[in-house]
Amino acid sequence: MALEYIDEAPTLEEYKEMRRQVNFMLLSDRIAANALNNAFHITCVRDNGRAVGMIRVLSDGSYANFITDVMVIPEYQHRGIGTEMLRRTMDFMRSTLEEGETIVLYLMSASGKEPFYKKFGFRERPNEVWGAGMSQWLTK
């Protein structure tokens, strides 16, 4: 396995195919292209040129940052790829800081995947400090 972790977006077709393979919601070409083009940071994992995983960060350019699209296609899961992508992403986000600065990383875990993120120091909500994370899907 010749894995490469590259800080660039997959192609639109690769992104949509990875989403399909991991059972994420399918996106229109317009929405998918915007997701890739407007990301603050993306790492794509390739095996001999084939996109097999990715992680994406959205950011306001200051303290609020959202990790999304953490995905590894099924045949490559349980090989440490997700762990390495998240480690690299967190290292990148730390590299954006100056001494004494603090930022927040948010994410919405897939059901049952919370223990994976807890290994990196993420905390479930609600807890003694923060209320529940909330979301809403809009459809037209």
What is the residue extent of each domain of the chain? Answer: 3-118
**Which tens digits make up the pLDDT trace of 89-120?**
999 999 999 999 999 999 999 889 999 999 99
CA distance 52 to 36: 16
Cis peptide before 126 (omega within 30 of 0): yes
Cα 130 from chain centre: 22
Q: Does an H or E element contain 70, and which?
A: strand 64-72
What is the pTM for the complete model shown? 0.92
Cα 30 from chain centre: 19
Which tokens sit at 9? 């977006």
According to CATH, the topology of domain 3-118 is: Aminopeptidase (3.40.630)
**Which tens digits make up the pLDDT trace of 31-55?**
999 999 999 999 999 999 999 999 9
Which tokens sit at 27? 């996106």
CA distance 68 to 70: 6
